[in-house]
């Protein structure tokens, strides 16, 4: 007998990544503490840990570290300038263990402004 899949059987979408096909001018980063939009034009470097749990974005004026799961999805969207928003998952999100690999789960975003000396080094 075939088992039918019910709406409740699918894991919820954590809504950590919003994309669009048209290149975005800014990448919005949203956490419970702050919301920042940084221009793609000042993104210097993008690096992803091999296990897909940490993503680092180096901007002219800021350093951003995103921690979570399946972040290769976010890496690809940012590298292709399609990511509009990267947001931290809601604290009450319970489907993390059942999340498919094509969905990103962002647990933390740290945004650090660089001082003048650090900016000169870049």
pLDDT at res. 54: 98
pLDDT tens-place string over residues 26-47: 999 999 999 999 999 999 999 9
SS (H, E, C) the chain: CCCCCCHHHCCCCCCCEEECCCCCCEEEEECCCCEEEEEHHHEEEEEECCCCCEEEEEECCEEEEEEEECCHHHHHHHHCCCEEEEECCCCCCCCHHHCCCCCCEEEEEEEEECCHHHHHHC
pLDDT tens-place string over residues 83-111: 999 999 987 777 777 778 888 999 999 99
Distance of CA 57 to the CA centre of its chain: 10
Indicate the range of 11-25, 46-60, 66-80, 98-112 predicted with least confidence: 11-25
pLDDT confidence band for 3 (50 / 70 / 90): very low
Predicted TM-score (pTM) of the model is 0.82
What's the mean pLDDT in 7-35?
84
Residue in 37, 41, 35, 52 with CA at minimum distance from that of residue 81? 41
Q: Domain limits of the chain?
A: 15-117
pLDDT at res. 8: 57
d(CA 103, CA 93): 14
């Amino acid at each position: 007998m075939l088992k039918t899949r019910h709406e409740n059987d699918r894991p919820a979408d954590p809504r950590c990544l919003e994309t669009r096909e048209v290149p975005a001018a800014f990448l919005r980063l949203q956490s419970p503490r702050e919301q920042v939009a940084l221009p793609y034009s000042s993104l210097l470097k993008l690096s992803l840990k091999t296990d897909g749990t940490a993503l680092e974005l180096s901007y002219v004026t800021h350093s951003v570290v995103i921690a979570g799961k399946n972040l290769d999805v976010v890496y690809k969207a940012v590298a292709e300038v399609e990511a509009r928003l990267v947001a931290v998952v809601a604290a009450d999100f319970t489907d993390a263990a059942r999340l498919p690999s094509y969905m990103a789960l962002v647990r933390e975003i740290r945004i650090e402004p660089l001082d003048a000396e650090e900016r000169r080094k870049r």
